[in-house]
Structure 1
Amino acid sequence: MLLAACASSRQLSIGEARQFAERRYEAAPDEVYDATWLALEARGASVIDGDRLAGTMVVTQAVGATFDVDIAALGAEQRVVFTPREAVSSTDWAELLDDVNRRVRATIKVWHDLPEWKFDGRRNALSVPGYSLQPPAEWAWLDFDISRRRVNVQEKRARGVENLTLTLELERRRTRPSMVNTLQRAVTTMLAARVKVKFPSTLEADEDGTGSHGVWRVFNGGEARDVAWHGVEVPLGDTQVTVVMVCPLEKRARCDALWPQVFDSQVNR
């Protein structure tokens, strides 16, 4: 909360406003950066310039001053400082800082306690709170990672061979797309790669009402492989679900037929 000096409404100079605008969080730098960005967007503000590595943002509001945000490590904590570019009303400034602080702390708490995927065999449904999806019923293999926040469903109950793969991940919501990370993991699983797969530096995709779609040329141990893929990102408040389906290009027709069924099986609650 702002100090008592700001309790009654008055104009604060840039220097005065900055004195009261420091907050600290025990979380990773990228978490604090994303949580702050999302909190500002939730208020209707716009980040018009952001540098994740430098930990800086320039923020505009529909009503109110433009301001700068600076995020820097301070020991085990992240220090966040807001600096307006002009004098501000003490009450408006206090409301903004308190609301953003509340949102950031709540978001980080959610991210540190993400739920796990659960599978209901009777309904053939994978679910987390607020979301469920039905994988292809005839696929034979389902495998959770150790955190149970990522799950792979594969066509065949076999290891060490190429295997059509559907990957679902529950993760914290991010300010920039993260589908490429899920896609890389899914392709590595689908290829049963024993060495590090080399991926292209860009991801080109077609978009339609059932998500994103494309073909990637990757290199598995020096061998070029063309991979067809489908994907969708589903925001769930402070979290998001990313779903991708991948298959060798020669089996693209199989994935093309299955993806609309998987996409349509999604339920958001």
Structure 2
Amino acid sequence: MRLFALQESRILGEAVATQLGIILDTHEERRFDDGEHKTRPLVSVHGEDVYIIQSLGGDQTVSANDKLCKLLFFAAACRENGAAQVSTIVPYLAYARKDRQTKARDPVTLKYVAQLFEAMGVARVVTVDVHNVAAFQNAFRCATINLTSFDLFYPHIEWLVEGGPVTILSPDAGGIKRAQLIRESFERVRGTPVGLAMMEKRRSEDVVTSDLFAGDVEGRCVIIVDDLIATGTTILHAAAISFFVASSFKPS
């Protein structure tokens, strides 16, 4: 087995390697003056099962596009040099949010990204709490694994609520299944009932509005569960709506 972590995910890679009791395999990354880059393994991968760690969240220093290209090219290089199988570990999968057409002539970007992974010979894609599990599994023809981090949050939620009543809130209709799963598993951990609430969300030109709120939040600690946060406007809006509903005021 060979385990690599590309530069932007080096800290995570080292943590994974420590848990496995191994060290990361070495590789080279070069960036050229015109913005192109080259990445290659510095150890033999011939006949090996190769695992590559690279999260694809963009920031001001490295875009999601650069991270994606680097991962794809490195995976292809491993296959080109005889790797028996290449698996990519992608905690945040870029473009997963665009998994269907919601407007005329919309792209289905998740499907296109899946085709790129497959074209590079990737055998398996592992991600964490992907935006839409069903869409993720259907987009890829190679093996897919979606890991969940739900259990990691329960002790902290319990500490926050101090034993009081809890409601899990989904800030949009598309996330209701996620909220239901968290509610059910938290109830099993807690041994007491956990409430469920949902807010309808509409977004137009980055302005978030809602006309529908369902669920009991009065006198409860409300835990808002969402999978992607870019500007935070949805979370802020859901928190404000919850407060108004719990206080018996209707938002304007």
Return the TM-score normalized by structure 2.
0.26
Q: Name the one with the larger helix percent.
A: 2
Of the two, which has the highest radius of gyration? Answer: 1
Q: Which has the higher contact order (CA 8 A, sep 6+)?
A: 1
Q: Name the one with the larger strand percent.
A: 1
Return the TM-score normalized by structure 1.
0.25
